[in-house]
Structure 1
Amino acid sequence: MINVSFVIPAYNEADRIGSTLKSLKHFSSNAEIIVVNDGSTDQTKRIAEKYANKVITLPINHGKGFALQIGWREAKGTYIACLDADLEESANEVTSLLSPLEKQQADVAISIVKAGKHAGLGFVKKRVQALIYQQTGVKLEAPLSGQRAFHRKWLSVLLARAYQGFGVEAQMTIDLLKAGAKCVEIPTTMTHREMGRNMKGFVHRLKQWVDIERQCRGTLL
């Protein structure tokens, strides 16, 4: 029986995904690694096939939400951990997220990571915190964290609607809380690529904000 399924969406992550997947290979034989190659045009697929138990390749880029749901449908584990492809060696800290689930202290565990010096100004984060609080009455510190784990019994909730792009973390959190799931946030030192306070970072956060508004509020932008 598979205990943990690691679901990793990846788009053009050839430079980092190898290190990320290698850091997960030390888990016991009752774990599986599922990579959803979301229309990558680099060597992501080839590298992922060296380490993952299953690589699902989408012919075009559909976005993070779609890719995660594809991976969830394939997951066989009692617990499902969603991880970004660019965590590299810090991915092994996922054990901190699995621990409260295995001890039945929570249904969902979300990683809290201290913002680095190249992080954004926090507008999108504050917006999502407000949306989640408005709809559930719960205040979260890291609502946009892509590093999270949950018990598979919540899959029916997470597969009941289509998730869009970067709106997935915000909406899945709202859906789980409304369904009665107990969420805990766990401090970790997981690290991944920060977009920075430059034009590339600004464009990324603008797209993230648009996806979140469309997903959580149905805003037509």
Structure 2
Amino acid sequence: MSHKLSIIIPAKNEAKNLPELLADIGLQNLAAEIIVVDDGSTDTTAAVAIASGAKVISHPYSQGNGAAIKTGARNANGEILVFMDADGQHKPGDIAKLLDKLNHGYDMAIGARKANTHAGLFRRIANSFYNHLASMMTGHKIEDLTSGFRAVRANKFKKFLYLLPNGFSYPTTSTMAFFRSGFPVAYVPIKAGKREGKSHIKIIKDGIRFFIIILKVGALFSPMRLFLPVSGAVFVTGISYYAYTFIHFGRFTNMSAVLILASLLIFLIGILSEQISSLHYKHSDDNR
């Protein structure tokens, strides 16, 4: 690519995996700036990365994967940013496939892991659920919501740094933000390698966090996709309860009134939220 490239690798206690990964990146002849963000490691991660020729930025203590991503993006000089994990799951040979998508006019290209390369049955089921929920919230098919292997245009990605959480759900937030802001996103099928070492993701805790973030970002960029179904469900419940009490008791109950009024309030909140969300679309269009 003619644009300067920065490869950002968040790493926590990855001294064992980094030498092979960085050597493999070097074999790709990408002429890229390589940034390793040492997220408070207690091993020799920083020293190993420096010895391999990478630029290292260290956090004084562990702040989270998302915080490392933000640190890397803020310190990157490239017009194109590539994010990949340090644990051996992502293959540097696939970077060219992501960059090719950007050359074809996309603003973000994501390495979509094949189903049989997700770690464990439970995680495959969870990822499938999140993909379907996020697709509903954005109105676009999302093939791999949680993949951390992606290439993005720096000027677009940096617009959303303020939205990114410090934990492991930066892929969720950035993907939904790009879709809802009208920035084209492409998926590239990849086969993820087996992770070396212990995962830092806590299935239940981070799973709940992913779910909340999907709702939060969906409500932020497309509020009516959340509020309208909720309002409709509450309204139907209120009307159904009214019909039941009228048929059996011949009266209109307070509960029916509360439910119908609640559905109206939820609908009005959704409309107000749509107006507020337009400010984010304006923000995304600045210096486009």
Given the two structures, how large is their TM-score scaled by the length of structure 2? 0.66
Larger radius of gyration: 2
Residue 163 of structure 1 aligns with which residue? 165
Q: Among all aligned residue pairs of Structure 1 and Structure 2, give the percentage whose two residues are the same amino acid.
A: 29
Cα shift readout 1:101-155 (whole Å, capped 9, x = no counterpart): 1232x11111122233853322331332133223211122211111011111213
Distance 1:192 1:208, change over 3 A: farther
1:160-199 maps to which residues of 2 (within 5 A)?
A: 160-193=162-195
Report the Cα offset of residue 164 of structure 1.
2.8
Q: Which has the higher helix share?
A: 2
8 Å CA contact retained: 2:108, 2:185 = yes
Q: How many residues align?
A: 213
Residue 60 of structure 2 aligns with which residue? 59
Report the Cα offset of residue 43 of structure 1.
1.5
Matches of 1:155 and 1:117, distance apart in 2: 26
1:131-170 maps to which residues of 2 (within 5 A)?
A: 131-170=133-172
Residue 27 of structure 2 aligns with which residue? 26
Query: Is the deviation greater in 145-154 or in 45-54?
Result: 45-54
Residue 212 of structure 1 aligns with which residue? 210
Matches of 1:55 and 1:7, distance apart in 2: 10
Q: CA RMSD in A?
A: 2.6
Residue 74 of structure 2 aligns with which residue? 73
User: One-letter code of the match for 1:43?
Assistant: T
Cα shift readout 1:54-105 (whole Å, capped 9, x = no counterpart): 101101111111110010001111210000001278223211111111232x
Cα shift readout 1:151-186 (whole Å, capped 9, x = no counterpart): 112133222324231111111111111111111110
Report the Cα offset of residue 36 of structure 1.
0.5
Bigger relative contact order, structure 1 or 2 (CA pairs below 8 A, ≥6 apart): 1
Distance 1:212 1:33, change over 3 A: same
- 3-state SS of 1:166 partner: coil
Matches of 1:194 and 1:44, distance apart in 2: 14
1:112-123 maps to which residues of 2 (within 5 A)?
A: 112-114=112-114, 115-116=116-117, 118-121=119-122, 122-123=124-125
Matches of 2:201 and 2:165, distance apart in 1: 21
- 3-state SS of 1:57 partner: strand
Query: Is the deviation greater in 206-215 or in 129-138?
Result: 206-215
Matches of 1:184 and 1:27, distance apart in 2: 22
Distance 1:168 1:30, change over 3 A: same
- 3-state SS of 1:160 partner: helix
Residue 40 of structure 2 aligns with which residue? 39
Residue 111 of structure 1 aligns with which residue? 111
